Amino acid sequence: MKWNYLSIGFLLFGISLIAKGNVYVQSTKAKLLSQPKLNAEGSLLKIGDVLTPIQEQGLFVQVRVEEKSGWVSKLFVSPLPPGNQMKLGITSNSSEAVVARQRASDFTKTAAARGLSETQKMRVRGEGDLYDFESLRWLESVPLTTDPNLSKSDETKSGEVTPSIQMETNQSLSVLGETKAEVKLGRSLAARLLKRYNIVRDLELTRYLNSIATKLGSVSSRKDLEFRVGVIESNEINAFSCPGGYLFLTTGTLKKIQTEAELAGIIAHEMGHVILFHNGEFKQSNLFVDVLSSLLSPPGSEVVNTAMATAISEMEKQFFETGRDAKVELEADEAAVGLVSQIGYSPIGLSSYLNTMSRAEGTDTLKKTHPETSMRIAKLVYIEASVSTDGTTLVVDRWSEFKNRIGK
């Protein structure tokens, strides 16, 4: 049987909203602006409004809605129609999953009767030398909240989340197939990173970082994702963004951060890659193949098929060797300013951090895979002048309470 056409499809480059046709408003912050600037005059749009793109200019797209035209930030619209949020660690009992599981079970029995090694044919991979799903499950078990006031009574034990990623659904919305495929691939890439680096299992620090990401995500177009931030052990100054919302900061990065605004700027930059689809498009995988892969894998393990492994290797190469295109890195910088200013952080946090980072050691990989730092700072200074936090409640800076947890 030919498995290639059943596997996850992907494109490893950012997508153009013009090429996608209509886009959908998915944030209460979306406005139809008179100019391509966040502080321009404009009228509020409603979640679910359908917009027709005309042209793009940086982080903005000119659109037509009904008889009007104007500009809207890409942070607040998506080529995906509104869908439910992806939930991690929840087993689905949908009729589709049940049927696929039965089909897969029948298939493996037939293959065994014929003496066929379907495991070899599919070349499935799971936990072992390449992936650390156990550490990833710990990160997924950390409760998400926008409240930074953490309580010991809220702690959860490692391993309480089941290995599978499924979704919660309601009667009106379901999780989009593209979102499922994106999270599935991103989750495996995250597990690959955690095989390379040890995760820091500090519950309070992780909850604090995730509270920032959750607030940032709440004003973006990616309501279909749960953003997760993990800390990894490395003196190298770097941060990583995986499809589906898995973000990682090194301990070397955290040691250089002076304020929560800087921290939010870094997290928002990594989130910008996900929100703006810089990892490309993802097509829904075949549920029958997914279930069959899990039946063929060792008990308790998780499966990464060959197509996914190839994509993961390419993305990992971007992290450490080639980097993304300079255009999308600069767009993620601009996205960071737009996001943090919406929830009450100073818009100069990211440029302030980059200024510190430009004089620091341990930045070889970061500088190799990103545009020249002075150019990034110069562009950020220009963008910062185009946003305003007037009327927004400023965030209380709590970084000093957590920075000493990183160590020296």
| CA 254 – CA 239 distance, rounded (Å) | 10
Matching residue, tokens 């953490």: 150
Look at residue 290 in the predicted model and tell me its pLDDT: 58
Which of the following CATH numbers is that of domain 22-78: 2.40.128.130, 2.30.30.40, 3.40.50.720, 2.60.260.40?
A: 2.30.30.40
Angle made by CA atoms 293, 299, 301, in degrees to the nearest 5: 65
Look at residue 91 in the predicted model and tell me its pLDDT: 46
Look at residue 158 in the predicted model and tell me its pLDDT: 38
Tell me the average confidence (pLDDT) per consecutive run of 10 residues in the chain, 408 residues long: 41 58 90 92 93 92 92 92 72 53 55 53 59 93 76 42 38 71 90 95 96 95 93 95 95 96 97 90 57 52 74 87 90 96 94 92 88 94 86 87 83
Class of residue 141 by CB neighbours under 10 A (exposed 0-12, middle 13-18, buried 19+): middle
Q: What is the arrangement of strands in the sheet containing 228-232, beginning at the earlier edge strand?
A: 228-232, 246-250, 239-242
| CA 291 – CA 295 distance, rounded (Å) | 6
Angle made by CA atoms 273, 345, 138, in degrees to the nearest 5: 55
Look at residue 310 in the predicted model and tell me its pLDDT: 82
Of the candidates 148, 74, 21, the one whose C-alpha atom is nearest the C-alpha of residue 331 is 74
Q: Hey, where are the domains in the chain? A: 22-78, 86-403
| CA 206 – CA 142 distance, rounded (Å) | 8
| CA 401 – CA 310 distance, rounded (Å) | 41
Look at residue 159 in the predicted model and tell me its pLDDT: 36
